[in-house]
Chain A
Amino acid sequence: MSDEDDIILSELDDEELVAQMFDDLYDGLKEEIEEGVNILLEREWAPYDILTKALVGGMTIVGHDFRDGILFVPEVLLAANAMKGGMAILKPLLAETGAPRVGKMVIGTVKGDIHDIGKNLVGMMMEGAGFEVVDLGINNAVEAYLEAMEAEGPDILGMSALLTTTMPYMKVVIDTMVEQGIRDDYIVLVGGAPLNEEFGKAIGADAYCRDAAVAVETAKEWMGRKHNSMQSA
C-alpha cells in the first residue's frame, strides 16, 4: 500500500479513531490497537470508556460476524489477540480507577473431556468482551469447579464438553450445586459440539450457547438480568 493511504492514528479525531480501531480489531492488528489505546489515554479518556467503547465495541462486531458465518476461527483468534494487547495496557489502570467489572467467569471442560479448542475460544471471546476469565483447563471433576467458584467468586460458571459420553457430567456438577444450595448464586452456561438447547434445559443450566459469540451475548444478557434483580431486591 502506498504512503498516501497511510492513516496516522494520532491525527484522527476521537470518533474517527474509535471507528478505525474497530477496523483494526477486525483485521487483528495488535500494534495498531495498542497505539490507539495509548492515544486515547493521552487524550484523558477513562480506561473503562476505552475498554467498553473502543475495544468491546469492536469485538462485538467481530462476534456478530462470527455468529453470522462471515468470519471464522482464525480471524477471531487474531482479533482476540489484538484485543489482548489493548487489555494488557488497560488492566492495571482499570484496577486503579476502581472501574466497574463487566463480569467474571470460571470455565473448564468437564471430567473425562480433554477437547479444549471450543472452551479456549469462548475464554478468548469473553476476555474480548471485557470479562475476567479463570480457565480451569481440561478434565475437571465437580470438586475442581466448586473450589474455583469458592476461591474466585465468579458471576458465571461455564462448562464445555465435546463428547456425548462426557456431556451428562454437566448435570452432576449442577446437581451438586443444587444440593449445596449454591446453584442460584451463579449463572451456569454450557456449550460444546454435541449439545443443544433441549439438553441445556434438561440438566438445569441457565443457557446453552451454540458458539463462542453466542456465549458472549448470553453472558452479557444474564449479567444485565443479574444487575436488575440486585437493584430490585
Chain B
Amino acid sequence: MTNPFIDLLAQKGTLLADGATGTNLFNMGLMSGDAPELWNTDEPAKITTLYKGAVDAGSDLFLTNSFGANASRLKLHGAEKRVHELARVSAELARNVADKAERKVIVAGSVGPTGEIMEPVGTLSHALAVEMFHEAADGLKAGGADIGWLETISAPEEYRAAAEGFALAGLPWCGTMSFDTAGRTMMGLTSEGMVDMVDGLENAPLAFGANCGTGASDLLRTVLGFAAKDPARPIIAKGNAGIPKYHDGHIHYDGTPELMGDYAVMARDCGASVIGGCCGTMPAHLAVMRDRLDSTEKGEAPSLDQIVAALGDFSSAGDGTGEDVAPKRERRGRRRS
C-alpha cells in the first residue's frame, strides 16, 4: 500500500517534522484555558500562519491544530458536538498550505490523548475510547490529512484504542508516546515495552516514537532504547526545546536554536528518521534543524555520556530498560488468585 508519507520518507531518508503548536499559538494571543481547536473556525488566518511557519522553516511534515479535538477534551469547552467539524477544518486549512508549497509537504492530522484514565484502573471504556478516536480520525480524513498522528500518549491501552479508531476511519497513522516519568511513560511503559506493544498491533502505525517529555536528552535516550530493539518501523523523535524556565513573570524554554540543531543531528545518529520538536520549538529552531540535517551525514549513535555533554543532564538515572530495572519489593506471597 502506498502512502505519501512513506513515499517521501523513502525518497529523502530523513524527514523534518514541525515544532510546537501551543507555544506558537500562545504567542499569537491564545489565552490559557481556551481550546486551541476553536481557532480553526474562529481565527483561521492565525492557524494558517502557524502552519506556514513550519513549512517556511523547511518542515517536510506538519501537524494539524487538532490535538484536543476529541469528545472528552472538547466537552470541557462545551464543544463536544464539534469534534468532526473542528478536526476536518484543521486539516482543510493544512491541506491548503501544504498544496501551495513548492515541495511535497505531508499533512499529519494530530490526535492527542482523551485525558481520561482507561479501565480497569480508570473509568474510560475501550469501546468509548475507540469511538472517540474514530470520530477524530474521520474528521481529519474528510479534511484531507495524508495520515493521522497520535501523540503524547501515556497508556498502552489508549494507544491500542487509537489504532482501532484509525482502522475504522481507514486513515494510515503514526503514533508517539511521552516518556516523562523516570524515562518511562506516566503509566510505566519503557521504550522497549513500546516497541513490543507496537509490534503486536493489528493496525500497526507507519512509524512510531516519542514526543514531548522532559527535555532533549531524555528523548534521545528513549530513541536509543527503541533502536536497541531493532524495530521494524521508522522511529519518530519530537523533543521539547529544552526545559521551561521562569523569568520575570513569563516562561521561556531554555533550548536555543543551536541546541535543537545539535539535537536533530544526534536524533538521526540515534536511529530516528522523522525528527521534529515539541513544546518551545519555534520556526527559528526548525530552520537551524533543517540546515544541520541537510549539511551533515548520519553518523555513529552517540553514547549516553555524549548526549549529556551536548544537550544536558537526564531527568533520572535510568529509564527501566536493559539491566537498569529497580528491584520489586520482597513479597509475603499473594493470597487468592
A72→B334 contact, CB < 8 A: no
**Which chain B residues lie closer than 8 Å to A20 at the CB level?**
332, 335
Cβ of B2 under 8 Å from chain A? no
Complex CA distance for A202 and B245, rounded to whole angstroms: 11
| A166, B32: Cβ atoms closer than 8 Å | yes
Q: Are B182 and A23 in contact, with the CB atoms below 8 A?
A: no
Contact status B115-A117, CB under 8 Å: yes
**Chain B: interface residue total (CB-CB under 8 A):** 43
A7/B246 contact (C-beta < 8 A), A70-B326, A77-B117, A112-B32 known? no
- Are the C-beta atoms of A68 and B181 separated by less than 8 Å? no
Taking a contact as CB atoms closer than 8 A, the residue among A6, A61, A69 that contacts B182 in the complex is: A69
Interface residues of B in 147-205 (CB under 8 A from A): 154-155, 180-182, 184, 186-188
B316 surroundings in chain A (CB, below 8 A): 69
For residue A19, CB closer than 8 A to chain B, the reply is: yes
Residues in A with CB closer than 8 Å to B32 are 111-113, 163, 165-166, 169
A193 CA to B279 CA in the complex, in Å? 12
A203 to B249, CA, bound (A): 9
B335 touches A5 (CB 8 A): yes
Q: A69-B181, A114-B76 are in contact. Are A168 and B251 (CB under 8 A)?
A: yes
Chain B residues near A181 (CB-CB < 8 A) = none
Query: How far is it, in angstroms, between the C-alpha of A74 and the C-alpha of B119 when the chains are bound?
Result: 10
- Whether A74 contacts B121 by the Cβ 8 Å rule is yes
B329: which of A61, A78, A117, A202 is its contact (CB, 8 Å)?
A: A61
A207 to B243, CA, bound (A): 20
A169 to B33, CA, bound (A): 12
Q: Which residues of B are found within 8 Å of A23, using beta-carbon distances?
A: 331-332, 334
Residue of A with least CB distance to B251: A164
Q: Which of A5, A19, A115, A165 contacts B251 (CB 8 A)?
A: A165
- Binary CB contact string for chain A from 59 to 74 against chain B (1 if under 8 A, 0 otherwise): 0010001001111111
Q: Mark A24-51, 1 if CB is under 8 A from B, else 0.
A: 0011000010000000000000000000
B333 contacts the other chain (Cβ, under 8 Å)? yes
Q: Does B312 contact A (CB under 8 A)?
A: no
Among A1, A68, A78, the residue within 8 A (CB) of B335 is A1
Confirm or deny: B322 has a beta carbon within 8 angstroms of a beta carbon on chain A.
no
Tell me, in angstroms, the Cα distance from A163 to B22 when the chains sit together.
9
Contact with B along A7-30 (1 / 0, CB 8 A): 100000000000110010011000
Residue A149 is within 8 A (CB to CB) of chain B in the complex: no
Q: Give the interface SS of chain A, mostly helix, strand, loop or mixed.
A: loop
* Residues in B neighbouring A112, C-beta threshold 8 A: 31-33
The listed residue with most A CB atoms (<10 A of its CB), out of B31, B154, B184, B188, is B188
B337 within 8 A of A: yes
- The docked-state distance in angstroms from the alpha carbon of A1 to that of B336 is 6
Q: How far is the CB of B213 from chain A (nearest CB, A)?
A: 10
Cβ contacts under 8 Å, B180 to chain A: 193
Task: Tell whether, in the assembled complex, residue A114 and residue B33 are in contact, meaning their CB atoms are under 8 Å apart.
Answer: yes
* A-facing residues in B301-337 (Cβ within 8 Å): 316, 318, 320, 326-329, 331-337
Q: Provide the residues of chain A in CB contact with B78, threshold 8 Å.
A: none
Q: Which residues of B contact A194 (CB under 8 A)?
A: 244, 251
**A107-131, CB < 8 A from B:** 111-117
Chain B residues contacting A115 (CB-CB under 8 Å) are 115
- When chains A and B are docked, how far (Å) is the Cα of A169 from the Cα of B32? 10
**A186 to chain B: closest CB distance in Å?**
22
CB distance from A64 to the nearest CB of B (A): 9
B13: chain A residues within 8 A (beta carbon) = none
Contact with A along B45-77 (1 / 0, CB 8 A): 000000000000000000000000000000010
| In the complex with contacts A111-B33, A199-B246, A73-B186 CB distance below 8 A | yes
- Please judge, given known A-B contacts A72-B181, A72-B186, whether A27 and B334 are in contact too, CB under 8 Å: yes
Chain B residues within 8 Å of A111, by CB: 32-33
Interface contact A138-B76, CB-CB below 8 Å: yes
A70-B329 contact, Cβ under 8 Å, with A77-B117, A202-B246:
yes
Report whether B187 and A26 are in contact in the complex, using a CB–CB cutoff of 8 Å: no
B122-170 with Cβ < 8 A to chain A: 122, 154-155
Which residues on A sit within 8 Å (CB–CB) of B181? 69, 72-73, 211
The answer on a CB contact under 8 Å between B187 and A73 is yes
User: Which residues of the partner chain A approach B243 to less than 8 Å between Cβ atoms?
Assistant: 196
Which one, B26, B31, B121, contacts A78 given CB within 8 A? B121
A77 to B188, CA, bound (A): 13
Asked if A198 is at the interface (CB within 8 A of a chain B CB), the reply is yes
Chain B residue numbers with a CB within 8 Å of A26 are: 329, 331
Segment 15-40 of B: residues with Cβ below 8 Å from A: 22-23, 26, 31-33
Q: Does A188 contact B (CB under 8 A)?
A: no
Chain A residues with CB below 8 A from B103, complex form: none
- For B33, the chain A residues whose CB sits under 8 A away are 111-114, 139, 166
Query: What 6 A-B pairs are tightest by C-beta distance, nearest first?
Result: A72-B188, A112-B32, A112-B33, A69-B182, A164-B251, A1-B337
Residues of chain B touching chain A, judged by Cβ–Cβ distance below 8 Å, are 22-23, 26, 31-33, 76, 115, 117, 121-122, 154-155, 180-182, 184, 186-188, 243-246, 249-251, 253, 279, 316, 318, 320, 326-329, 331-337
Task: A1-B335, A23-B332, A70-B326 are known; give 5 further A-B pairs, CB within 8 A.
Answer: A1-B334, A70-B327, A72-B181, A72-B186, A164-B279
